[in-house]
Copies of this chain bind each other. A is one copy, B any other.
């Protein structure tokens, strides 16, 4: 195993203009791992679940070759549960329920068999939890990516800055880049963030695509043109998992490899929004994915 993903495995309640699901498999690490599983061998998850985590859902992940040795099950505990409602344009959502449950006391443990990970994706968790994971690796993984959000900038900025110093790639959205840098223009914001430690920065712009910044210059990719978005839940995590899955399989971490990884990330994210929860991510073929990457190439080359 070579890619380790730290983050939530959860159940979600989702309502969009296209329908409603009371309880579907969710969580950032779940989406990222499913996505990565199409692009690299046996990605591993470090997470925590309750004993309400269904064997059938565990099988969904292991059937995709995902290593769950790092997923602790808390006896008598319940899985993290989130429920939300998406408005008509899908850009705005209201959170209806956030039950942290077993996530409240999550103390991630890196299994011995995960120590040789080449790459590590630190999903959006508290910076102190992310630091504890970094500290447990005897040998630093060759490439470490960090996902975070404005919430941690508000309440744990100093610790977050410590984590940012220790990673190779930071992925945030445009508003978070503005907040982190204190600069409105996102290109200028990106330049400042690159002085904070990471060699690479991806600014995610949702339907407007993403931009990768580095010392070798920036690289922009549009989103894949999806005609009808059914459910955006997990799109960012699917994007991150696709990115790290492709990069891990390449085994090189230069700008050219990161650009290709961004195309795969974009393709994987686009599949995810086409159906509820992870439904679409469970039925893809290699040809589906390469066809979408080929489309992105034609879509952008002149």
Contact = CB atoms under 8 A, between A and B. Distances in A.
Interface of A: 88-89, 184-185, 187-188, 191, 205, 208-209, 211, 217-222, 225-229, 256, 259-260, 262-263, 297-302
A299 B89 contact: no
A263 B219 contact: no
A300 B88 contact: no
A228 B186 CA distance: 10
Nearest to A89: B184
A185 B229 contact: yes
A259 B211 contact: no
Given A184-B88, A208-B208, A302 B226 contact: no
Nearest to A183: B227
Contacts of A185: 226-229
Contact of A300 (B89, B191, B220, B227): B220
B260 A302 contact: yes
B302 A262 contact: yes
Contacts of A263: 302
Given A184-B88, A263-B302, A302-B297, A225 B219 contact: no
Contacts of A188: 227-228
Given A205-B208, A208-B205, A219 B187 contact: no
A201 B211 CA distance: 25
A209 B222 contact: yes
Contacts of A262: 302
B259 A219 contact: no
A18 B159 CA distance: 36
A211 B221 CA distance: 12
B302 A221 contact: yes
Contacts of A218: 225, 299
A300 B221 CA distance: 6
Given A256-B302, A301-B301, 17 more contacts: A88-B184, A89-B184, A185-B228, A185-B229, A188-B228, A191-B227, A205-B208, A208-B209, A211-B225, A219-B299, A219-B302, A220-B299, A220-B300, A221-B302, A222-B222, A297-B302, A300-B301
Contacts of A227: 185, 187-188, 191
A209 B208 CA distance: 8
Nearest to A260: B302
Contact of A299 (B217, B228, B298, B299): B217
Contacts of A299: 217-220
Contacts of A297: 302
A98 B184 CA distance: 30
Nearest to A206: B208
Nearest to A223: B220
A222 B225 contact: no
Contacts of A226: 185, 187
Nearest to A189: B227
